[in-house]
Amino acid sequence: MATITAFDGTPIFYKDWGSGRPVVFSHGWPLNADAWDAQLRFVADNGLRGIAHDRRGHGRSGQPWNGNDMDTYADDLAALIEELDLRDAVLVGHSTGGGEVVRYLGRHGTGRVSKAVLLGAVPPFLLQTEDNPHGAPIGAFDSIRDGVERDRSQYYKDLTTTFYNANREGVTISDGTRDAFWLAGMQVGLKAAYDCIAAFSETDFRADLLTIDIPVLVVHGDDDQIVPVAISAVKTAERLKDATLKVYEGAPHGIVGGPYQARFHADLLDFITS
């Protein structure tokens, strides 16, 4: 397996398909790089180099006790980009991975990156606080923690319902898609899965967004039941210097792997090559 070594010695697994301009994908919780296989193949088929890693604690990467926080995730992404000596890269992040991309850009700058894509991403700040009154209350995230602690296997199975909007009329999600989500979730170490909930819900990305000086494509479903568009993509686009916001009508949090995937592929390639 291809791995790089993070600053603290943690091995970080990655896939590297195709050649050309690098497109680096960061996955959501509780998934791994396999969630991006269709996109990796798509960009590689179109003359680009697709790269995706397993976040620490997830999939085939190491499972250290410490470092399950957004700063460290960003530093791990930096280690990957620097080890592979990537230039003129496009960063693509879904959900928690979108936070990872934004924190990387805020923390490490845009010297190696020319564009970014945020898909159903968690910035600017999910948690409800005095200065973020439209965020979600802490109880919403405590319920996720309770589910992971109590019976994470069943919790991941149940989560596929709202992740893919299987509870909406006319929406059908295959058992295979649900099973793949569950399998990825069960590959996350319990400590990493638990800690990552705070990382994606309690990290404030508002200052990071203001520093980003490259074009950013922001894609979000208007029926996202996990990360509501009004408290995420809309506010993110307002803070970015050069944002293109595309809201997919009826789309769930899990845009890739479903009926909206072809549309996302077209928007992604158009943004990269324009």
Residues annotated as catalytic (active site), given as ranges: 95, 224, 253
What are the angstrom distances between the C-alpha of 155 and each of 159, 161, 165, 186? 6, 10, 16, 10
What are the angstrom distances between the C-alpha of 252 and each of 144, 163, 184, 217? 18, 6, 19, 18
| Residue-wise burial string across 231-252, b where 16 or more C-beta atoms lie within 10 A, e elsewhere | bbbbbbbebbeebebeebeebb
Longest dimension (CA), the chain: 48
**What percentage of the chain's residues is helix, strand, coil (to nearest 5)?**
45, 20, 40
Question: How far is 82 from 74, CA to CA, in rounded Å?
Answer: 12
Q: Which amino acid is at 65?
A: W
Question: How far is 146 from 185, CA to CA, in rounded Å?
Answer: 15
- Helix crossing, 70-83 with 190-202: angle to 10°? 100
